[in-house]
Amino acid sequence: MSVIHKAPPKVRDSEQGMIAIMTTLIMMIVISLIVLGFAQISRRNSRESLDRQLSSQAFYAAESGVNDARNLIRQAVAAGNPVGSKTTCDGTGDAGFYASLNPIIDAAHSVQYSCLLVDAAPTSLNFSDIGTTSTIIPVISPTGDAINTIKLDWQSKATSGTPTTGCPTTTVNIFSPVGAWACGYGVLRFDLVPTAGNALTTDSLVDSTMTTFAVPFPSSAGVNFVPYVAGTANTNNRVGIKCSDSGCSLEIRGLTQNNYHLRVSSIYKDVAMQLSATGATGSQLKIAGSQAVIDSTGKAQDVLRRIQVNVPLRTSSQNELSDYAIEMNGSLCKRYSVSSGFLSIDGTGITSANPLCQTGTTP
């Protein structure tokens, strides 16, 4: 009996399996990259969300430091006590009433104001809203050095448009109804008076007061400084000031004392203003008695936020007296009685329904 042996089948070479493996590997790599990308985006969004939360906490912590220092300053001003500077973050060697500050807000989450500084005599004063109600600004050199120059810088508060458009080009007949004023800047009025010494009288204050209306001019015209000239000899009662779209600047030169007071207002348009002073050598001087600058740094874990705030060193910076002899919303008519039974204004008559504005014979 014979046995028949069958030859084993031949295994043919085929690349179909390799293609499937490569396709699977590529798909796995692509999916892995997509998963990693989404994970990275998720981690980034999570971190950004945490950073925003920590940034808000740090900002509020910095505000807490400002409010704590402001309350102490207000208490000192109300009690008539001097306000000292705080020159170190930990308060070492600073004025005594800052010792009560407690910078820890949330110890469990590491939220605090890590550094709080107070400058009671800064080199620059900032006023965010100078309007028709005048602001009283003491300009006093704490070291006793004479003030040579006071510099005023102010900016338009308009959020759109070109501030210099429609500005005057002459100081003649500049005053107009509010609705007719087209310039983006107002007319800055200031009254500057020396107040050094103890022998001040009403007459001496009136004679030494410099009153000036600073009229905004385009940059191609106007000046950027005026000399201090007071009283009836004041030749700078109306001055055209060079202004650009970014702001106006004016220096008052030729000052000689270390103690001045400035009353400033802005007619037609409110402005933001900064004030600085220099001595005889041209170096900036510290200014006492007007504002303190509070510099507060808040911290939430590893995130820091820092803010600076100017606070007044007076109970009120607003003028408590009337800024005008007469103030009204409507038109003003004047009645002049020259002789009994007769009224004449410039030899001409006036037609008016108001009997107080009639000319001619009166009963």
Of 260-264, 343-347, 352-356, which has the strongest mean pLDDT? 260-264
232 exposure class (CB count in 10 Å sphere: 0-12, 13-18, 19+) = exposed
Is 265 found in the same domain as 211?
Answer: yes
Task: Kindly report the three-state secondary structure assignment for every residue of 324-345.
Answer: CCCCCCCCCCCCCCCECCEECE
In a domain, 323, yes or no: no
In this prediction, what percent of the chain has a pLDDT beyond 70?
80
Note whether 133 and 253 are same-domain residues.
yes
Q: What CATH number corresponds to the domain at position 137?
A: 2.60.120
Together in a domain, 199 and 128? yes
235 HSE (CA, 13 A, CB side): 2
Give the tens place of pLDDT for each residue, 34-45: 888 888 887 777
Residue 2 lies in a domain: no
pLDDT in tens, 114-156: 999 999 999 999 999 899 888 999 999 999 999 999 999 999 9
Whether residue 335 has pLDDT greater than 80 = no
Statement to judge: residues 343 and 232 lie in one domain = no
Containing structural domain, residue 360: 333-363
Task: Clarify whether residues 253 and 343 are in a common domain.
Answer: no
Is the same domain home to 165 and 275?
yes
Q: Which amino acid is at 1?
A: M
| 252 located within any domain | yes
Q: Looking at the structure, do residues 161 and 258 belong to the same domain, yes or no?
A: yes
DSSP 184: S
User: CA torsion 202→208→213→214, rounded to 10°?
Assistant: -140
Chosen domain end from 227, 261, 288: 288
**Backbone φ and ψ of 114, nearest 5°:** -80, -25
Q: How is 85-139 classified by DSSP, letter by letter?
A: PB-STT-TT--GGGGG---EEEGGGTEEEEEEEEESS-SEEEEEEE-SS-EEEEE
pLDDT at 362: 42
Question: For residue 89, is pLDDT > 90?
Answer: no
In a domain, 108, yes or no: no
Strands 225-227 and 247-253 come out as parallel
**Number of domains into which the chain is organized:** 2
pLDDT per position as a tens digit, 95-104: 577 888 889 9
Same domain as 255, residue 355: no
Q: What is the pLDDT of residues 102-112, one digit of tens each?
A: 899 999 889 99
End position of a domain, from candidates 256, 288, 320: 288
Q: Do 200 and 349 fall within a single domain?
A: no
If residue 27 lies in a helix (H) or strand (E), which one and from where to where? helix 16-78
Flag whether pLDDT at 48 surpasses 80: no
Q: Are residues 247 and 343 in the same domain?
A: no
109 is a domain residue? no
What is the rounded distance in angstroms from the CA atom of residue 40 to the CA atom of residue 62? 32
Categorize the per-residue pLDDT at 336 as very low, low, confident or very high, splitting at 50, 70 and 90.
low
Grade residue 341 by pLDDT with cuts at 50, 70 and 90. Answer: very low
Tell me, yes or no, whether 281 and 348 share the same domain: no
Among 210, 208, 233, CA closest to 152 = 210
From 288, 316, 343, give the residue that closes a domain.
288
Residue 238 domain-assigned (yes or no) = yes
Task: Note whether residue 294 is domain-resident.
Answer: no
Exposure of 180 by Cβ count < 10 A (0-12 exposed, 13-18 middle, 19+ buried)? exposed
Within a domain: residue 223? yes
Pick the range with the lowest mean pLDDT from 205-219, 230-244, 289-303. Answer: 230-244
pTM above 0.85, yes or no: no
282 and 165 in a single domain? The answer is: yes
